[in-house]
Structure formats: C-alpha cells, structure tokens
Amino acid sequence: MIPEYAKNSKEDIPFGQYMEQYQQMDPMECASRTGLPFDEETQCFRMRMLQKEYLISWPELIVTRADAQDETYAVLAEETPAKILALRFLLHGVSSQSTGNFLTYREVPSGEVYFRQFSGRCLSRLAYGFGFKPEKLAAAFEQLGAKKLSHGDVSYELEIINNYFVRFILWTGDEEFPPSTQMLFSDNFPLSFTPEDMAVVGDISINTLKKM
C-alpha cells in the first residue's frame, strides 16, 4: 500500500530526515535544477503551492507568505505534510513543462498498483466531502484563484507546485447515483513526484479546500 506521510509526532521522523538533506544541499544547484528563484541576499527560495507564493528560507526552512496581506489559508505555512512535499521537490524535483496532456493516477508509473489506496484516500474523500454541496467546492476553488473548467458538474485546475498542475472534477450525487470524482495530473508529474507524493497532493489539496 502507499506509505502515508505520518501524522502528529510521527511526522518528525521523515521531516527530520529531509531537513538534514535540505540543510546540506547546495541551494544554487537546487535553484538551477528546479527553476525556483533563490535570493542569495535573503537566502530564500520562492515557491508556489496551491496558487499561493511562499518564501522558504535556507537552511532553516522558515516559510512565510510572499503576500503578507493575504489572510486566507496557507497550507505550506501550516501543515507538515505540505512542508515535506516541498522538501522532496527541493531535493529531487526538476523544472519542467507539461505538454498540455493530463494523466489519471492509474497512468503514472506504479499508479495501477496503488490506485485502490489512492481512490479511498483522495477520490472518495473529495466525492463525499463535496458531492452534495458543489457550490461550496466551487467557492473554495474560486477563493484559491483556480482555473475553472467545463468538465463534470464542478471542475477546476490548480497549480500544485510551480508548473505542476492537477485538475479536479466532481460529478454530483442524487437519489440514484452516488457522487464521483476524478483527479488528473499534468504529464510532467512523474518527473518529480512519486505515487506517494501524488496521494499527498490529494490530501493537502482537499484539506485546503475544506478549510477555505
């Protein structure tokens, strides 16, 4: 099954391991590889996550909003799993552009193996969290500044991390049929993210939508 990023105190173990690597890495090499701007004077990376821009200090990993006036929920400043996802991108990610095509989770390498866990952890959670209140889902996406699409009953595209996009599609439920959802990943995702990372993308996205 997909090994989940641990919660509460157990988050300290993977977070600590990635922090050690982060503190030892060459920030200029990271900036060149990922395409993330790095300010040598302030020693900060500039990264976008879920449509918001953040400043991430090196080597301390202090996260602040780039827009200090923005008071909406900022997942990278609030949640350890989001920080771990950012760390993994800083350590292993690459700058890339999608061809414009999108992949289902099953279509990414090893996605078929872990699809059942991903479906329960992300697709079902999104469906039953918003399947009978699509207006709330749409309002949350609008508040995030996501791109509206025309698929299903509600659909939007979010930039997860710089130039990596996910499309969320909801079909509402009724007395006959339960609600259903789909998540489509821009085709550059496998260059920087594992199936585990992609499940965490679903987690932090849904958490953010619920808290908006």
Q: What is the pLDDT of residue 11?
A: 65
Q: What is the pLDDT of residue 212?
A: 85
**In contact, 153 and 171? CB cutoff 8 Å:** yes
Q: What is the pLDDT of residue 10?
A: 55
Q: What is the pLDDT of residue 71?
A: 87
Whole-model pTM over 0.95: no
Where are the chain's structural domains?
8-92, 102-211
Q: What is the pLDDT of residue 13?
A: 79
Which CB contacts under 8 angstroms, 24+ apart, belong to 35-38?
Answer: 35/95, 35/162, 35/163, 36/90, 36/95, 36/162
Q: What is the pLDDT of residue 5?
A: 47
Q: What is the pLDDT of residue 176?
A: 86
Report the CATH architecture of 102-211: 2-Layer Sandwich (3.30)
| Mean per-residue pLDDT, 61-73 | 93
Task: Please report, rounded to a whole number, the percentage of residues in the chain having pLDDT higher than 90.
Answer: 88
Three-class secondary structure of residue 1 per DSSP: coil
Residue 171 scores a pLDDT above 50: yes
| Mean per-residue pLDDT, 149-159 | 98
